[in-house]
């Protein structure tokens, strides 16, 4: 049956980034029968977006990225639900290794070719880098070049999803969290070709005209995605500054180095988040998602919300400390805390997977974030709604299509295949599964 404003629509993972955005765009368009299902209340405690900050800035990895970037920038800047959470500090991408400097030049050329050359500035030496980010120190950045985005910055991520949650509530979107919001299986029609709804952990059957799966890193563990998505974790740690130190770093641009990691200006409590950069960690185990004929090896996320004593592998302590010593040498001796892993799901080509399932009509996927999609929070739901309405433009349909067998999502477009957490000690501090 065709979609009307009264059609019932279920969003599995609606407490997270892509799911909440989808609910928002549906509600803003006047859909009256939208329900979010999630394990945790919005902003879901296990969403990759439940974090103090995320990087905002243009990146042009894939053909449709310009439209997404420009649209996201516009909404983060002007829409009242999002505007308060965009901190336009500027963003410095920088590198010291020759091959990484070549990547920076490549980024610059792509931006110029897309007509966005005016939004960035090439920084050809250490002095001009320090002119833009005076908090950096000269000696650890010898030989570095930089690309400075004056319009970039960071997003107060969990607060922004929370803000979406408030608007959803005002607009009458319905919410179910906990066991009756936790996806277990799809309900299919007898012929096996039409999706009729979702069955949740406590046995509740939710019937709906359309079901959207936006479960982030959990998506390939819930439904068989034929290896199109491989879920991986990345880590971070926090550091506490004194009020005086925090004032010296206030307004500091986000600094990102593809060989090292990145850091953000302190938040309102003087907390600085530091990340390392690497190809991610998988957690393969024998597992049978809905629709898989038998158990197979799937990288299954482990929720930090459910396992709050989990930290990250010992190797991450080394690489995060290295990032601190280069970016923030004066804080080298400070204690790190809140060490954690956060889960995303990569596709082989780093394009999203936003498409109707080829076998189960009325069941839609909105996932494959590939580790860079928080910045799309305000805009991505618009395109999921276009998909539901059948008006998604051909280039987006093509980029986000169902595409098993088209490449290796375990490597994706990263430097190497992800290592597995089973081989890396140090992160696990409870005996529970």
Cβ nearer to ligand FAD, comparing 180 with 247: 180
49 interface partner picked from ligand FAD, ligand FSA, none, CB below 5 to 8 A per type: ligand FAD
The greatest distance separating any two alpha carbons of the chain, rounded to the nearest whole angstrom, comes to 68
Cβ nearer to ligand FAD, comparing 37 with 326: 37
H-helix segments, 149-262? 157-170, 219-222, 243-249
Q: Between residue 258 and residue 297, which ones bind ligand FSA under the rule CB under 6 A?
A: 275, 277
Instruction: Enumerate residues 6+ apart whose C-beta is below 8 A from 433.
Output: none
Cβ nearer to ligand FSA, comparing 158 with 208: 158
Taking alpha carbons only, the member of 412, 386, 344 closest to residue 16 is 344
277 interface partner picked from ligand FAD, ligand FSA, none, CB below 5 to 8 A per type: ligand FSA
144 interface partner picked from ligand FAD, ligand FSA, none, CB below 5 to 8 A per type: none
Q: Between residue 18 and residue 57, which ones bind ligand FSA under the rule CB under 6 A?
A: 55, 57
Q: Between residue 52 and residue 111, which ones bind ligand FAD under the rule CB under 6 A?
A: 54-55
In the numeric block, the tokens 């709604």 are attached to 385
Q: Between residue 186 and residue 225, which ones bind ligand FSA under the rule CB under 6 A?
A: none
Structure tokens of 218? 């959990």
Contact assessment for residue 374 and residue 48, using Cβ atoms and an 8 Å cutoff:
yes
152 binds ligand FAD (CB under 6 A): no
- Interface mask (CB under 6 A) for ligand FSA, residues 347-386, using x and -? ------------------------xx--------------
**How far is residue 145's CA from residue 95's CA, in Å, rounded to a whole number?**
6
228 binds ligand FAD (CB under 6 A): no
Q: What are phi and psi of 424, to 5 degrees?
A: -125, 105
DSSP state of 97: S
Burial of 419 (0-12, 13-18, 19+ CB in 10 A): middle
**How far is residue 146's CA from residue 253's CA, in Å, rounded to a whole number?**
12
H-helix segments, 29-137? 65-78, 98-113, 126-132
Residues lying near ligand FAD in the complex (CB under 6 A) are found at 12-13, 15-19, 37-40, 44, 46-49, 54-55, 181-183, 214-218, 222, 234, 236, 275, 342, 344, 367, 369, 371-375
Residues lying near ligand FSA in the complex (CB under 6 A) are found at 55, 57, 59, 234, 275, 277, 344, 371-372
């Amino acid at each position: 049956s065709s979609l009307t404003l009264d059609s019932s629509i279920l969003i599995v993972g609606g407490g997270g980034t892509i799911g909440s955005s989808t609910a928002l765009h549906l509600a803003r368009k006047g859909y009256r029968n939208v329900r979010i299902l999630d394990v945790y209340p919005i902003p879901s405690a296990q969403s990759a977006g439940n974090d103090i900050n995320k990087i905002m800035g243009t990146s042009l990895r894939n053909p449709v990225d310009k439209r997404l970037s420009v649209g996201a920038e516009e909404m983060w800047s002007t829409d009242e639900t999002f505007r308060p959470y965009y901190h336009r500090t500027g963003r410095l991408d920088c590198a010291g290794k020759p091959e990484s400097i070549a990547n920076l030049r490549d980024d610059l050329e792509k931006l110029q070719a897309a007509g966005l050359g005016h939004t960035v500035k090439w920084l050809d030496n250490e002095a001009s880098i320090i002119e833009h980010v005076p908090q950096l120190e000269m000696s650890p950045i010898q030989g570095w070049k930089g690309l400075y985005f004056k319009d970039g910055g960071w997003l107060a991520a969990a607060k922004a999803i929370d803000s979406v949650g408030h608007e959803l509530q005002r607009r009458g979107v319905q919410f179910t969290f906990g066991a009756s919001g936790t996806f277990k299986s799809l309900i299919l029609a007898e012929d096996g070709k039409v999706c009729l709804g979702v069955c949740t952990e406590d046995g509740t059957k939710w019937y709906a005209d359309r079901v959207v799966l936006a479960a982030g890193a959990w998506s390939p563990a819930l439904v068989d995605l034929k290896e199109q998505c491989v879920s991986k974790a990345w880590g971070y740690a926090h550091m506490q500054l004194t009020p005086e130190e925090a004032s010296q770093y206030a307004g500091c641009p986000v600094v990102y180095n593809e060989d090292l990691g990145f850091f953000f200006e302190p938040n309102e409590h003087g907390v600085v988040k530091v990340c390392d950069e690497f190809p991610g960690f998988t957690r393969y185990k024998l597992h049978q998602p809905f629709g898989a004929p038998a158990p197979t090896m799937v990288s299954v996320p482990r929720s930090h919300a459910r396992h709050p004593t989990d930290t990250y592998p010992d190797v991450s302590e080394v690489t995060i400390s290295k990032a601190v010593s280069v970016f923030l040498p004066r804080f080298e001796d400070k204690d790190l805390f809140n060490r954690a892993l956060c889960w995303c799901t990569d596709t082989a080509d780093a394009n999203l997977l936003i498409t109707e399932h080829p076998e189960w009509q009325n069941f839609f996927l909105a996932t494959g974030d590939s580790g860079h999609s928080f910045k799309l929070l305000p805009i991505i739901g618009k395109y999921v709604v276009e998909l539901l309405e059948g008006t998604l433009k051909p280039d987006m349909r093509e980029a986000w299509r169902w595409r098993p067998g088209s490449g290796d999502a375990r490597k994706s477009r990263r430097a190497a295949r992800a290592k597995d957490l089973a081989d890396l000690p140090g992160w696990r501090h409870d005996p529970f599964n």
